[in-house]
Amino acid sequence: MVVADGNPRVLVVEDNLLMAEAVCEILAARSAQPVGPAPTVAAALRLVEANPIDAAVLDIRLHADTSFPVCRVLRERGIPFVFATGSTEEEIPAAFADAPIVAKPFEPSELIEALNASLHRPTGG
């Protein structure tokens, strides 16, 4: 399965290095261009500013922080995102509750299906 829309640039926001590498490998194996990974909100926001981004894969919990500030910036720019997380749906603010969620641990196909779906749906903003 190939990620839709050619070779999308996909921001990866994940604080666990092994998981971040795994997500990047999944994306690269399916013709996407991983951007990052970013282990913190600050690093993710720097990547968003410095790179064209078509979509994002975000863990919710980043050490003591959450990725919700990144979600706000992505929404403002009309960039779709997928949560790849061990967090629960109840932890997600209503403003982002429509984003696809892939629960850890996940199969590569689950992530790609959610990412493809997010690339083909309208985003708020």
Domain-embedded: residue 125: no
Domain-embedded: residue 53: yes
State how far the Cα of 24 lies from the Cα of 29, in Å rounded to an integer. 9
Segment 107-120, tens digit of pLDDT: 999 999 999 988 87
CATH of the domain at 114: 3.40.50.2300
Expressed as residue numbers, the domain containing 107 is: 9-119
Is the distance from CB of 86 to CB of 104 less than 8 angstroms? Answer: yes
Domain-embedded: residue 104: yes
Q: In the chain, where do the E strands start and end?
A: 9-13, 33-38, 55-58, 61-62, 65-66, 81-85, 101-103
Domain-embedded: residue 2: no
pLDDT over 70, % of the chain: 92
Domain-embedded: residue 1: no
Domain-embedded: residue 3: no
How many separate domains does the chain show?
1
Segment 85-101, tens digit of pLDDT: 988 888 999 999 999 99
Domain-embedded: residue 95: yes
Q: What is the pLDDT of the chain when averaged over all its residues?
A: 91
- pTM beyond 0.85: the answer is yes
Span 70-79, mean pLDDT? 97
Q: In 48-100, where do the E strands start and end?
A: 55-58, 61-62, 65-66, 81-85
